[in-house]
Amino acid sequence: MDDSAPTALYEPGDPYDSQWLSVPGGHELFIQQSGSPGGQPLLLLHGGPGSKATAMQRRLFDPARFRIVQFDQRACGRSRARAPLLHNHTDALVADIERIRDRLGIVRWLVCGGSWGATLAVHYAATHRSPVAGLLLRALFLAGRTDLDWFFGGAGALFPDEWQRFLACAPRSRRHRIQPWLWQVFAKGGDADMRRVAAAWRRWEAVVQGQTPPPAALDSEAIQRYRIQAHYLARACFLGERRVRAAVASLHGLPVLFVHGRRDFVCRPSNAWTAWCSLSGSRLLWVDEAGHDPFAPGMVRAVREAADRWLREQDFDGIGLLRRPPW
């Protein structure tokens, strides 16, 4: 990585277009376009599952040269739904991406995402190859038992005091297997239970990410975020690790760059390594001083360098490590 590359974020600018799109299943998606209407199309997928598109996310990309498309996934953020969890699954999100592309008249785009957004980007590219010009993937989440057992268990060895604090949100009899209990709370629990558990979950998430724990108070949007996340994680994001890894391996010939912080304790570096090893021609860029935070200076530098390279060359050649064919 070029250590002289900029670490400053671009100005977010105001979106030049905001609109709603009705999709099957009683959902309405909130879509925004920002940057340059004549720029290179870029689809920026938010993480979670259950989070939302933000102005901060697009500050990694040059607004003078990219046409940046963002949307809030089903029942997330400003998107609306009569029944948030009904007809809310990964294949529906992929179909939504194609509906958005068709609505906006975009032929091909660079697809970018971090964490769950990277997972969704991989699945989209594997099932809709022709509209995808390339993939820029940060902190890939593999959506399997290994990832979940780490986050809801193994990572507790790194932060034992905070792990015990998180476990305290559950009855003693359920703490040895907290995941199924979490899913049940958000599927069948009352508002007070969901609010209490969402606050504990949010604090644990911040600790593992290396961030300052947020205030305990949550608004309805934050609770909805963890409700959707539980809905997806309880079902391995409707994919599972085997399907995600197979999707990655199917992308031979497509420009793909994995960017991963070596200190990422949420989506561990082994995720990117495993994916890179399975896809000849892909590239892997380690960011030594970064964790899961997309706005750490080293990560900003890495993503900006990759995006600028894409604008110049329409590929990621020369960045990071090249996975050579095994023959």
Among the residue ranges 125-129, 203-207, 218-222, 276-280, the one predicted with the least confidence is 218-222
Judge whether 87 counts as a catalytic residue: no
pLDDT number for residue 189: 86
How does residue 214 score in pLDDT terms, banded at 50, 70 and 90?
Answer: confident
Banded pLDDT at 213 (limits 50, 70, 90): confident
Band of residue 327 on the pLDDT scale cut at 50, 70, 90: very low
Helices (H) and strands (E) counted in the chain, each on its own, are 11, 10
Residue 9, burial from CB neighbour count under 10 angstroms (0-12, 13-18, 19+): middle
Answer whether residue 276 shows pLDDT above 50. yes
Catalytic residue among 27, 264, 282, 293: 264
Q: Is 34 left (phi over 0), alpha (psi -120 to 50) or beta?
A: beta
Question: What pLDDT shows up at residue 326?
Answer: 55
The catalytic position among 34, 51, 79, 115 is 115
DSSP three-state, residue 37: coil
Element (H, E) at 231: helix 220-233
pLDDT band at 264 (very low <50, low <70, confident <90, very high): very high
Share of the chain above pLDDT 70, in %: 97
- Residue 54 predicted with pLDDT over 80: yes
Rounded to an integer, what distance in angstroms lies between the CA atom of residue 303 and that of residue 219?
31
Average pLDDT, the chain: 95
pLDDT, average across residues 270-298: 97
Q: What is the mean pLDDT of residues 135-160?
A: 97
The per-residue pLDDT for range 286-323, each reduced to its tens digit, is 999 999 999 999 999 999 999 999 999 999 999 999 98
* Measured torsion, CA atoms of residues 74, 80, 83, 87, in degrees rounded to the nearest 10: -30
Peptide bond into 49 cis (omega under 30): yes
Catalytic one among 27, 123, 231, 292? 292
**Range from 4-8, 31-35, 205-209 carrying the lowest mean pLDDT:** 4-8
Geometric angle at alpha carbon 69, from 63 and 71, rounded to 5°: 135
State the average pLDDT over residues 224-249.
97
Q: What is the pTM of this model?
A: 0.95
Rg of the chain in Å (alpha carbons): 19
Residue 81 has pLDDT above 50, yes or no: yes
3-state secondary structure of 253: coil
**Burial readout 260-297 (b: 16 or more C-beta within 10 A, e: otherwise):** bbebbbbbbbebbbbbbebbeebbbbbbeebbbbbebe
Pairing type for strands 256-261 and 132-138 reads: parallel
What residues does 180 pair with on adjacent strands? Answer: none
Res 4: pLDDT:
53
Under a CB-based contact definition with an 8 Å cutoff, are residues 267 and 140 in contact? Answer: yes
For this structure, is 46 an active site residue? no
Q: Domains of the chain by range and CATH?
A: 17-143+239-322 (3.40.50.1820), 145-236 (no CATH)
Q: How far apart are CA 190 and CA 227, in angstroms?
A: 12
* Dihedral sign (CA 105, 307, 70, 66): negative
- Mark whether 292 is an active-site residue: yes
In the block, which residue shows the tokens 């934050």? 222
